[in-house]
Structure 1
Amino acid sequence: MASEVPKMEYRHLGNSGLKVSVLSLGGWLTYGGSVQEEAALECMRVAYENGVNFFDNAEAYASGKSEELFGKAFQKFGWDRSTYIVSTKIFWGGEGVNQRGLSRKHIIEGTNAALKRLGLDYVDLIFAHRPDTSTPMEEVVRAFNWVIDQGKAFYWGTSEWSAEQITDAHRIAEKLGLIGPLMEQPQYHMFHRERFEVEYAPLYQKYGLGTTIWSPLASGILTGKYSKGVPEDSRLNLQTEMGKYLRNEYLESEKGRQNIQKAISLEPIAKKIGASLSQLAIAWCIKNSNVSTVIMGASKFVPLLTDEIIAEIEAVLDNKPKPTPNLR
């Protein structure tokens, strides 16, 4: 049984000198949206006091309200700025033709707007929230480097870019004597593994790619709360386009139904080590050494998993990707 709560672990973000807490707090779908302000502020306070030093956000989250809430927290708690790390992501800044994408104009204007909402002079990390195939890669690389040169961010990275796109950004950055993307923010959980474990594998070695993982609980499937239906107050019950997408992806598809059964089969393993299914799922992500940090909402503790427990989990999942063969 798990009895002692492990101390927070800190890992280097890729090949940088920056250390991030292995657990981090994000604002997607909740802060500025479905979670009440006081509850969100309390979550941030408790997270910080328990060693979380990375707070992730984006201009798109709750149409900027999530960043505003983070700004209120930083002002209210008065934490030393050197003790925490903040990110934002640029792509969806509004409905206007130049308020989205990765043009130089939107990257710079979006960064300035995010800083105003956050009440900060700079963010530590800034991400290209998605690839923009309509903007030349050189323009994207130059714009993020300009943001860094102006002291508005320290590192730039990508989110849900392909390995080919990340490699292209590095190639152009090297050619121009500029900084390439340090980190990627991909989806990674027990049911979504191929890109993280196989496609990105060469990037960890070649570029020292850091990772900030989102959706470690598969939009709640790995909490077990959807095993008997859809709770009224859950994100999969949201009557929005996102809610419809999540229901189709995680509940109504054949693969979704299979994953719910796998989640049910994982619960005895979680109980065996005195953890919840959520904690087991997060611990499984952390077990991968290429994970720099896992972005989540809140958790009491995360257990340490032995090789034996990992083997039991893999037996249930039955989806471990095969590594790319070495043909030499």
Structure 2
Amino acid sequence: MLDRLKSINPLFILTVIAPTLVAIAYFGLLTNDVYISESRFVVRSPSGGGASPLTAVLGQAGFGGGGGGSAGAEGNGTISEYIMSRRALEDADEGGFVRKAYADPDIFFVDRFGTFLGESKEQLYQYFLGKVVVNESTSGQVMTLSVSAYDPTQAQEINLRLLIQSEALVNSLSERSRDDTLSLAQAQVDEATDKARRARLELAQYRGAERIVDPEQEALVGLQMVGKLQDQLIAAKTQLRQLQTYTPQASQIPFLKTQIRQIEAEIEQTRTSLTGGRGSLSSAMARYQELRVNSEFAEQQLAIALASLQDAQAEARRKLTYVERISDPSLPDFAQEPRRIRSILATLILGLLTWGILSMLMIGVREHRD
């Protein structure tokens, strides 16, 4: 037996037999079973940015088009970045659950966390990245979260924690975006309401100070009064001329002259109140029109702001995104890794290839020397 072993090429032992024996020992006896828990979900939006679970599954299987809008794509990217972040690890490691799951003394020391890398948070994060995988389907809609652990219940629990925190993150970001949009629109409404209130108040105060309700209506009444007085003046002057022509000694002539002077004075007084100086109705009308225009403009701005608020509310409802689960985290009932036989065969084949290449190189070197 020893003679047979001595007759074996040392290179063959080094490149084939030794690695294969190590692989048999490691994969066949030492390494622990690895359980993988999977969950699937899709980011949805009422506006159609996401996809329904049925559509997403059909799209992934190749029975439908990609579909999916930017809301779903952005949500998928956000979740992917979050799950592979340090924050996700901190959230999932509440109570030291993740650290305990991967640092269990029953795990083979080569695979156990803390054996070679240390036990710091950064080293745990680097170890954690090798246990979590997030894949996006070809349709760009369905996300698959896979978590590897050495205990099936621990794999499921870590997957569930990551999924719950991802849902909370998407909801939080969606609510924050919605609140920001509505807050801005509401602030514009409040500002427009305040301007409209102040414009109405200024107009009301001006009316009270000037003791007028509507200068335009009062000016119209004044002009009508001037017209009536002018009619009376014309009638009085006509009667005066007739009396002066036909009965110059009539006793009514002085009365008519006095009446004409009074009518002319009243006309002049009315015109002065309408078109005179700073206290005239025309001056009051200019200020009144300015205040009224300001009030009408403020009301229009308020109407526009209210319409913008309604649009913002509708847009916020359309852009509201959330995570809908297609499948909850699974509880694996068998270990998918390590693939022991395949790993041992792969080691053997790789050793044989290495042995063959090195043997040819050594033969070539010998021939070159000879």
Higher helix share: 2
TM-score, scaled relative to structure 1:
0.21
Higher strand share: 1
TM-score, scaled relative to structure 2:
0.19
Work out which structure has the larger RCO, using CA pairs closer than 8 Å and 6 or more positions apart in sequence.
Answer: 2
Query: Quick check: which has more Rg, 1 or 2?
Result: 2
